[in-house]
Amino acid sequence: MDDLAELALASAEGEAVAIHLCKVLTHRERGQHWPLSYAADRLLRRVFGAHGAVALEAFYQAYMGRRLDALSQLSVDAEHPVRLVPVDTLLDWVRVEPLGRGPWVAGMIDAFDGIGLSETALALLQMAPDRAAVLEGFERAVHSTYICGSFQEASALRLLALESLTTDAAADVAEWARKHVECIQEFVACWQRQARDRDQSFE
């Protein structure tokens, strides 16, 4: 299936194939077939990697029609298919309608790079008519969905990145970062209290 999909998407009719596959996948989102099979999820990723603008448009229209993030439901792991779209393609697509598209993709990109915002995140902010809405979208990247070990360990790198942003030249970014630094610190303190309570219950 993978080889056939790759050949079809790379052919002269590749864009038409991508449009058809996106229609199938977004229509499937309306039904009860959850979760997607491993093969269908791989197909979704191939479409986004080969024809990013087509896939973005199809799923954005599905989102606008039903006011939910179909991509989050279609994806079976933490690595979002949107991240397979070349950055230039993604930004060109957002630039057509930054007010709506910017905040939508903000929750799906990798908003952080090392100890700061990624170049993609900064570009989204730069073109955003409503920076607050884009920052709100980044919040999905702040809090880990999958935690291995303690919450403190899982959030350490993200906390460092946010702390570095509290001195960012852009006041709105700094304020946003401070809010989430406080939130993570509160979660860490709560996690530690729960761990102590569990330890004491076994004594």
From first to last of its 203 residues, the chain has per-residue pLDDT tens of 566 767 778 787 888 888 888 887 777 545 544 456 677 778 888 889 889 999 999 889 888 766 556 676 655 445 788 989 999 999 999 999 999 999 999 988 988 887 789 999 999 999 999 999 999 999 887 876 656 666 677 678 888 889 999 987 789 999 999 999 999 888 888 877 776 766 666 55
Residue with tokens 């630039």: 95
DSSP 111: -
- pTM comes to 0.80
Residue 27 lies in a domain: yes
Residue 16 lies in a domain: yes
Q: Residue 3, Cβ neighbours under 10 Å: how many?
A: 7
- Quote the number of domains for the chain: 1
Q: CA–CA separation, 144 vs 127, rounded Å?
A: 27
Q: Where are the beta strands (DSSP E) in 49-200?
A: 112-113, 116-117
Residue 121 lies in a domain: no
CA-to-CA separations, 31 to 26, 42, 140, in angstroms, rounded: 10, 19, 25
Backbone angles phi, psi at 88, to 5 degrees: -60, -40
Q: How would you write 22-89 as a 3-class SS string?
A: HHHHHHHCCCCCCCCCHHHHHHHHHHHHHCHHHHHHHHHHHHHHHCCCHHHHHCCCCCCHHHHCCHHH
Q: CA–CA separation, 15 vs 38, rounded Å?
A: 23
Integer distance in angstroms from the first to the last C-alpha of the chain? Answer: 56
Residue 78 lies in a domain: yes
Give the structural domain span for 59.
1-85
Residue 203 lies in a domain: no
Residue 155 lies in a domain: no
Residue 48 lies in a domain: yes
Residue 111 lies in a domain: no
How many residues are given for the chain? 203
